[in-house]
Homo-oligomer: A and B are copies of this chain.
């Protein structure tokens, strides 16, 4: 609607305007008599309609195709593998095979370790490295991402579900709750994708994730002390203080030095073999599938259990964290290789993968940062590397389930510990510190939150600090004094451009905010008044008596996107205050919404129509007087 109004206007007026030389008065009319901006209602309608329009366009382009071709197009939309699979060549497969085997060698020990971290039996980690990667391979749009369990999500699941059911007392119920949480995580991920709410993932800023992951790595490491040292008494809590206290208290309890040596030596062994290792494979399909299917019905039965509400909440938190990691990793490699990643489609795929995964006793899978990097450096071409990895995992499943029954905790602990140093990214933290101090605050907030309180508090701290930053900048905006840049018509911040020259008798000020609203309007008004008083006092001090008293205050509103009724009220008060000081107020370069609201509120008439297109013209007005 708004755009049609614009076009009519263009037809009528633009031609006339362009023909004649445009004077300043006419330009003021441009400012005052522009078309009406769209209402919030229109903007809301547009933003809701857009995704459906997009779908509609796709559908209408599909409708022109004949029947069988239509079916193929729809299937290709849902399963991208049908599209890229047709052009798949043997040369590509060679690369994918190599990459797949490489990430499998990394994935198998990590899956076992992360499952232990989530307080699950090791085979659940392997299930999670088998079913979800296969599902993602047929549905996902990334070409590089390596799917499977990851450390942070495992820790998050265990620390949250532990509160509902103690895994040491009732491991079966605990496992069921974890798998139910996985189901809910899948539901939430798919829903986020379906309703295009993917932006929620952005609420965890990059800086917060760096801090959170580093904190989680240390917490995970400390938890492994139990297995590594063979402690019998240990704490269920995850914060540093509780764990260190538990370790200290364990000195008086029996512990196992043999375990410690075993763990340490295995840790060293893994670190050497991890990038070389090709693991042995055996073929035991059927017995491996049996335990997977047996849990399906019991999982569904769990949905009517007493903890559904809490488990759904856990599912939501885990869904967002898992998506954050996987969207970030997918996006960064997609932009590196220059292809497009559909964020909402990605979330749908991840969601379906976890829903179906939960039916086959997998826990939450997502894109792993470390394995994806290895996948890319090993030269993967398509998601076939994930298929190769999944099959490798399946082949080793039966071998491991038997072997793992006898694996000492110390070895599992050392597997996990070997993966941790990569998670503490001091370089990135230093870079964040250098660029943005407040971002760094969110980073260390998340870090210490995880370390000294709990995983949820760490996440919450990061989100709160990040949003507090936005709110703080919105409610306490600075103001800047403008001066004319020599040789141009531009008026710029005199702090940023020290060569800019102030205009005598005129105070030009700009607010460093996109909004003038209830939360900052009074602050801005008071700040402008104190600035005016200060400027006057300076003039008196240095140059003798009132040499160049300010007669006109120009408010450059070029970066003010919107204003509300409190903002307008405060501008009116500013105007009254200035008049009582013998000054006048002028507005320069108001934006669409702002000029519209100022007109409706009658403010334009109240300040005597002193609204100008540029600061320069407002200054010119003063010299005319």
Contacts and interface: CB of A to CB of B under 8 A. Distances in A.
A597 B496 contact: no
Contact of A565 (B7, B336, B431, B521): B431
A373 to B, nearest CB: 17
Contact of A30 (B478, B497, B563, B568): B497
Contact of A470 (B471, B486, B559, B592): B471
A614 interface: yes
A559 B562 contact: no
Interface centre among A34, A39, A489 (most CB of B within 10 A): A34
A147 interface: no
Contact of A564 (B47, B204, B438, B597): B438
A498 B202 contact: no
A498 B600 contact: no
A55 interface: no
A517 B435 contact: no
A13 B597 CA distance: 43
For chain A, which range describes its interface: under 10, 10 to 19, 20 to 34, or 35 or more residues? Answer: 35 or more
A452 to B, nearest CB: 24
A291 interface: no
A199 B499 contact: no
A577 interface: yes
Interface string A191-207: 00000000100111111
A22 B202 contact: no
A142 interface: no
A513 B17 contact: no
Interface string A202-216: 111111100000000
Interface of A: 2-3, 6-7, 9-10, 13-14, 17-18, 21-22, 27, 30, 34-35, 37, 39-41, 43, 47, 199, 202-208, 331-332, 335-336, 338, 343, 431-432, 434-439, 466-467, 469-471, 473-478, 485-490, 493-499, 512-515, 517-523, 526, 558-559, 561-566, 568-569, 573, 576-577, 580, 591-592, 595, 597, 600-601, 613-614
Given A35-B495, A514-B515, 10 more contacts: A18-B486, A41-B437, A202-B475, A203-B519, A205-B518, A470-B515, A473-B515, A490-B613, A495-B592, A496-B591
11 contacts: A2-B495, A6-B495, A34-B498, A203-B518, A338-B580, A436-B597, A473-B514, A473-B561, A490-B614, A495-B592, A514-B515
